[in-house]
Structure 1
Amino acid sequence: MGDPTHSASVPGTHTFCRPHRTMSQDVSTAGRLDKHQLASAADAIRSQRPIQDFAPELGFEDASGLLRAIADSMRLKLADLTDIEIDEQILEGFPVRLIHRYEVFPIAKESDALVVALSNPFDFQAIDALSAATGQIIQPVVSDPEQVRDLIKRFLGVGAETIDGLLALQKDEDLGELNSLTGQDLEDAEVAQQASVVRLVNEILSEAIEARASDIHIEAQEKGIKIRYRIDGVLQRQPAPPEMNQFRSAIVSRLKIMARLNIAEKRVPQDGRIKIRVKGREVDIRVSIIPMLHGEGIVMRVLDKENLRFSLADIGMPDDVYQRFQKLIRLPHGIILVTGPTGSGKTTTLYSALSEIQDEETKIITTEDPIEYQLEGINQIQVHKKVGLTFAASLRSILRHDPDVVLVGEIRDLETAENATQASLTGHLVFSTLHTNDSAGAFMRLCDMGVEPFLVSSTVEGVMAQRLVRKLCPECREPDLRRQADLPDDFPYEQAKENGTVVYHPVGCSACRGSGYRGRMGLYELLVANDEIRDLATNQAASNEIKKAAVRGGMKTLRQDGWNKVMQGVTSIDEVLRVTKADA
């Protein structure tokens, strides 16, 4: 490896480099590390320990201080790669395999030298290899290893290293006809390329899970393949090497094998499940494959059991809503509905409610399509329409198993709705979901299905409408300085001004992958049926009349809960506008 005090001549200051600052004398003289500190730092970096983990061991408060000291000690510049802009022409002719092998990245061209950020500044062999491969003078700079890895992902995309290896293998073993292989031919071809394709697919899956994606979209395009992750409810395109298109069929076939689907069938939709382990935790993935114009499209729903905790206290309910909902879910009988569009967190709310009331004295049975998560201590039934096991049919059978609480995944038709009302009238507490815009609309929806209004009004005890909004990233959020004239008309500007409330908007940083948001939380509107609401429902009053009555009874609307969370600094005005509409 050479002398750890090895130095390189460095030209003047550049915009991508931070100026040097002298470290305090009690750490090292003139901001430099001694031989023992340098050796310890070199060992830690080689073993890929995060800088911030071992910085305190060497007397530094944070990673940036240690990186500056390493740069000073080695007479190198320190490059901060946060939000750095790079001319992609620099990458032309730069060997991808060496970027991955040594975890380096070219960031600028300086006269006759190529400036390269190193994740390991002690790896002098890397500098020699890069110089030999490019035929250029290499000017190394010290950077945070995590920033270098993020840069590699950002510009080269998921699976770039494996694709590079596959291309090399293709030259040696002629895998160019992989796209035309099907059935047994593809299985035979796997002998030549299985390990690499397995690795590539695993990289796509593990990268999505690490990014907290709820869904993975692999879409066939006329001129390539598009990979998108749904993160915090919003689809984000992921960079991928253009060469990945050559291995599209291999990727699809590998996923079919993992999901135990027919790899030869490309004419009809197929559904399956994959169970994998990522960094010691078990993750379920639901796979849907549909034939499209330019090839098969794949959408995978990620069900990460380790990161999901079903607790009403943790899903963002306001205190008053939480207390009233707690009383509802402990009623001896009746119907409790959760409404909202697909992907609004209805299943999480229902599972959290069941987990709250589940004990040895309560028998709970659910009928779902599909079963998203397996709940300990709760009996779950998977709907199978092909054999006649619908929501309505399973609900009839469930009542013969002496349940106390029943969950019906969704009330979709009159038969299911009537069975649910009869179950509540015979002493059962029934949970279910509906697709309505707000809580008041649930009464009209059930009546429109054909349920008698008096049955709806006498059995529905409460309706929770909800939406999901993205939470602002606490690392980069900034005050929203918009004037009152630029704010929505119903935003409580005067209240915020009177209370000195600071409203924030998203910015974007490395912690949130540039989106400005990290994580999601719910907006809630809980309608608890009272005498006035029951009378209105019996008389088939319009939804807005029921809503007004609920507000008079103390209900806060989705929009109001959204503005409250904006004033708490946890989400933005734009997020509330995205998922709610102004109250009439």
Structure 2
Amino acid sequence: PETIVRHKKLIPIALEGGELTIAMSDPANVFAVDDLKMMTGRNIKVVIASEVEIKNAIDKYYGAKGSMADILKEMDGPSDGSGDDVELVKEEDTGSDIIALEAQGEDAPVIKIVNLILGGAVTAGASDIHIEPFETSLRVRYRIDGVLHEVTAPPKKLQNALSSRLKIMAKLDIAEHRLPQDGRIKIKVQNKGIDLRVSVLPTAFGEKIVMRLLDPESLKLDLTLLGFDEQALKTYHKNIDVPYGIVLVTGPTGSGKSTTLYSTLTTLNKPDVNIMTIEDPVEYVLEGINQVQANSEIGLTFAEGLKSFLRQDPDIIMVGEIRDTETAEIAINAALTGHLVFSTLHTNDAPGSMTRLNNMGIEPFLTTSTIVMVIAQRLVRLICPRCKEQFEVEYDKVKHLGITPEMVGGKSKVMLSRGTGCDLCSNTGYKGRSACYEVMEINDKIRDLVLERAPTHLLKQMARENGMKTLREAAVWKLLKGVTTLEEVMRVTFTDTD
């Protein structure tokens, strides 16, 4: 029970046969061991851990003391939560753009729980929060370094109250439960401003809420820190330092495309350059750059925004995404009339973007006349520096990843790294992420293939002959440098097919 582990400052870590292994900071406390032996009826094996490690483990598995459990004790616990929903929401509607997440004694318990969920996500370095309703329970998960982790959730009876509280913070319609809604929240956690993009979606058992956390302080706007290898960065710099053309960044949602584009625009931002962007939404504010929020409800689409940009004397244009043929055609026209255009496209790799534009109805002679470079990217988790360890593995067991004998100096064993887990990384073995880049420069050989409407695999083959590293090769490079793991390489990249 939680009361026992907290009082005696221990935590169980293994049960094998009739023996229970526990971690304690004071192994000489024979009274605690005897009490535990009597309670469980098992032999007790003691291993030593620091008091801090034990406390962190208890908070992780039982929930932080003074937070969720204590807040719930304050509540009388309404039978279904519905009777108190409106009262709870009306209790605090500040009308302010910024809501400070500093729990006060007079706050309603549900407000404290919302603050706990949001503040916990910021502290954990999460990029997203998922609040998911099921038939008899709620689930709360944080996406940390690209992977979802479940955390302590409030009881099902608070579902409606939590939903109402978050919707009022995001200035959404609390009476609407049938349609999806999107909103924004600005909060302060420990004097740090955080923007949240809120998405509410009706499901079979209630409203699922997902919040994307945008922390300006965590944004890296230096291209050298993003994960490019030396040759890829050189190629990238060469092709963004051009007077006109199109540069495309491809990859799935959450792969770091916005960070790459923001870093690029920051690099190009000079007093003699007019940079304009249209985004949906504007994730981060960049000083000296004219950023426009797209709004399809009033007709301000990417295409309409681009049309207006061309009358604003721009040098560089960034459009959040090429979603349709009209946007693609206007972007190409902008490049043909002497502008440098950056945008994103959803394809699996860099060569696939040319085929994608072809399928959208864009003539090959237009793409070859304007596109100067396409990059694809994925994010891999970095090994925690505190608990990092090296180990050897047989070459034959990793060669399927595309590791050649030349890469490992012809050795029969390969030295790799991994994280064992510690309090710094919450026992995941990972801390932070880095991008893997596939940089395809559009040269004459690539243009000839595009004009012939060659399939993607031939474009990829030619790009590799021209020196392009694939996503898998870029990830393997990080693996051999000891910054990521074998599992991460296999999780985020596919095997190259010749």
TM-score (norm 1): 0.73
- Looking at structure 1, the residues matched to 60 and 129 of structure 2 have their Cα atoms a distance apart, in angstroms, of 17
* Secondary structure of 2:393's aligned partner: coil
- Aligned residue number for residue 137 of structure 1: none
1:234 aligns with 2:147: yes
Deviations 1:132-188 (A, max 9, x none): xxxxxxxxx998564354234213226863443443441xxxx51461137644446
- Looking at structure 2, the residues matched to 108 and 312 of structure 1 have their Cα atoms a distance apart, in angstroms, of 58
Residue 425 to residue 179, structure 1, CA distance change in 2 (3 Å): same
1:176 aligns with 2:89: no
Q: Contact (CA 8 Å) 1:163, 1:200: kept in 2 or not?
A: no
Aligned partner of 1:111 among 34, 37, 41: 34
> Is the strand fraction higher in 1 or 2?
2
Deviations 1:64-118 (A, max 9, x none): xxxxxxxxxxxxx9x787x94599xxxxxxxxxxxxxxxxxx9995334799xxx
Residue 202 to residue 450, structure 1, CA distance change in 2 (3 Å): same
Residue 159 to residue 330, structure 1, CA distance change in 2 (3 Å): farther
* Secondary structure of 1:401's aligned partner: coil
Q: How far does residue 502 in structure 1 lie from its aligned partner after superposition?
A: 2.0
Q: Greater CA deviation, 181-190 or 331-340?
A: 181-190
Aligned partner of 1:155 among 36, 39, 61: 61
- Looking at structure 2, the residues matched to 160 and 251 of structure 1 have their Cα atoms a distance apart, in angstroms, of 19
Alignment of 1:412-423 (within 5 A): 412-423=323-334
Aligned residue identity for 1:525: E
- Aligned residue number for residue 214 of structure 2: 303
- Looking at structure 1, the residues matched to 87 and 390 of structure 2 have their Cα atoms a distance apart, in angstroms, of 59
- Aligned residue number for residue 558 of structure 1: 471
Q: How far does residue 281 in structure 1 lie from its aligned partner after superposition?
A: 1.1
- Looking at structure 1, the residues matched to 139 and 340 of structure 2 have their Cα atoms a distance apart, in angstroms, of 46
> Is the helix fraction higher in 1 or 2?
1
Q: How far does residue 248 in structure 1 lie from its aligned partner after superposition?
A: 2.2
Q: Contact (CA 8 Å) 1:559, 1:581: kept in 2 or not?
A: yes
- Aligned residue number for residue 96 of structure 2: none
- Looking at structure 2, the residues matched to 232 and 248 of structure 1 have their Cα atoms a distance apart, in angstroms, of 27
- Aligned residue number for residue 348 of structure 2: 437
TM-score (norm 2): 0.85
Q: How far does residue 190 in structure 1 lie from its aligned partner after superposition?
A: 7.2
- Looking at structure 2, the residues matched to 155 and 508 of structure 1 have their Cα atoms a distance apart, in angstroms, of 15
Deviations 1:422-444 (A, max 9, x none): 00000000001111111111111
- Looking at structure 2, the residues matched to 111 and 145 of structure 1 have their Cα atoms a distance apart, in angstroms, of 20
Aligned residue identity for 2:56: D
Aligned partner of 1:573 among 479, 486, 496: 486
Aligned partner of 2:415 among 477, 490, 502: 502
- Aligned residue number for residue 354 of structure 1: 265
- Aligned residue number for residue 340 of structure 1: 251
1:216 aligns with 2:129: yes
Q: How far does residue 194 in structure 1 lie from its aligned partner after superposition?
A: 4.1
- Looking at structure 2, the residues matched to 108 and 570 of structure 1 have their Cα atoms a distance apart, in angstroms, of 45
Backbone CA RMSD of aligned residues: 2.9
Residue 236 to residue 431, structure 1, CA distance change in 2 (3 Å): same
1:404 aligns with 2:322: no
Alignment of 1:67-82 (within 5 A): none
Deviations 1:233-290 (A, max 9, x none): 01111134xx633322222221112111222222211111111111221111111111
Aligned residue identity for 2:424: A
Q: How far does residue 530 in structure 1 lie from its aligned partner after superposition?
A: 1.0
Q: How far does residue 195 in structure 1 lie from its aligned partner after superposition?
A: 3.1
- Looking at structure 1, the residues matched to 124 and 289 of structure 2 have their Cα atoms a distance apart, in angstroms, of 31
Aligned residue identity for 1:110: V
1:164 aligns with 2:70: yes
1:316 aligns with 2:227: yes
Aligned residue identity for 2:409: E
1:520 aligns with 2:433: yes
Residue 550 to residue 108, structure 1, CA distance change in 2 (3 Å): farther
Residue 373 to residue 107, structure 1, CA distance change in 2 (3 Å): farther
Residue 148 to residue 577, structure 1, CA distance change in 2 (3 Å): closer
Q: Contact (CA 8 Å) 1:338, 1:433: kept in 2 or not?
A: yes
Residue 184 to residue 235, structure 1, CA distance change in 2 (3 Å): closer
* Secondary structure of 1:468's aligned partner: strand
Aligned residue identity for 1:472: I
Residue 108 to residue 565, structure 1, CA distance change in 2 (3 Å): farther
* Secondary structure of 2:271's aligned partner: coil
- Looking at structure 2, the residues matched to 429 and 162 of structure 1 have their Cα atoms a distance apart, in angstroms, of 51
Deviations 1:19-56 (A, max 9, x none): xxxxxxxxxxxxxxxxxxxxxxxxxxxxxxxxxxxxxx
Q: Contact (CA 8 Å) 2:58, 2:64: kept in 1 or not?
A: no
Q: Contact (CA 8 Å) 1:525, 1:556: kept in 2 or not?
A: yes
Aligned partner of 2:287 among 352, 371, 376: 376
Q: Contact (CA 8 Å) 1:259, 1:273: kept in 2 or not?
A: yes
Residue 452 to residue 144, structure 1, CA distance change in 2 (3 Å): same
Q: Contact (CA 8 Å) 1:162, 1:196: kept in 2 or not?
A: no
- Looking at structure 1, the residues matched to 445 and 405 of structure 2 have their Cα atoms a distance apart, in angstroms, of 32
Q: Contact (CA 8 Å) 2:71, 2:113: kept in 1 or not?
A: no
Deviations 1:364-393 (A, max 9, x none): 111111111111111111111111111111
* Secondary structure of 1:512's aligned partner: coil
Q: How far does residue 395 in structure 1 lie from its aligned partner after superposition?
A: 0.5
Q: How far does residue 315 in structure 1 lie from its aligned partner after superposition?
A: 0.3
Residue 113 to residue 514, structure 1, CA distance change in 2 (3 Å): closer
Q: Contact (CA 8 Å) 1:158, 1:204: kept in 2 or not?
A: no
Aligned partner of 1:200 among 98, 113, 116: 113
Aligned residue identity for 2:466: G
* Secondary structure of 1:481's aligned partner: strand
Q: Contact (CA 8 Å) 2:438, 2:468: kept in 1 or not?
A: yes
- Aligned residue number for residue 191 of structure 2: 280
1:366 aligns with 2:289: no
Q: How far does residue 295 in structure 1 lie from its aligned partner after superposition?
A: 1.2
Aligned residue identity for 1:508: G
Q: Aligned residue pairs: how many? A: 458
Residue 267 to residue 428, structure 1, CA distance change in 2 (3 Å): same
Give the % identical residues: 45
- Looking at structure 2, the residues matched to 288 and 520 of structure 1 have their Cα atoms a distance apart, in angstroms, of 25
* Secondary structure of 1:511's aligned partner: coil
Aligned residue identity for 1:575: E
- Looking at structure 1, the residues matched to 108 and 55 of structure 2 have their Cα atoms a distance apart, in angstroms, of 23
- Aligned residue number for residue 265 of structure 1: 176
- Looking at structure 2, the residues matched to 495 and 338 of structure 1 have their Cα atoms a distance apart, in angstroms, of 31
Q: Contact (CA 8 Å) 2:89, 2:168: kept in 1 or not?
A: no
Aligned residue identity for 2:33: E
1:511 aligns with 2:408: no
Aligned residue identity for 1:275: K
Q: Contact (CA 8 Å) 2:74, 2:109: kept in 1 or not?
A: no
* Secondary structure of 1:111's aligned partner: helix
The higher relative CO (CA closer than 8 Å, separation ≥ 6) is in 2
- Aligned residue number for residue 102 of structure 2: none
Residue 496 to residue 547, structure 1, CA distance change in 2 (3 Å): closer
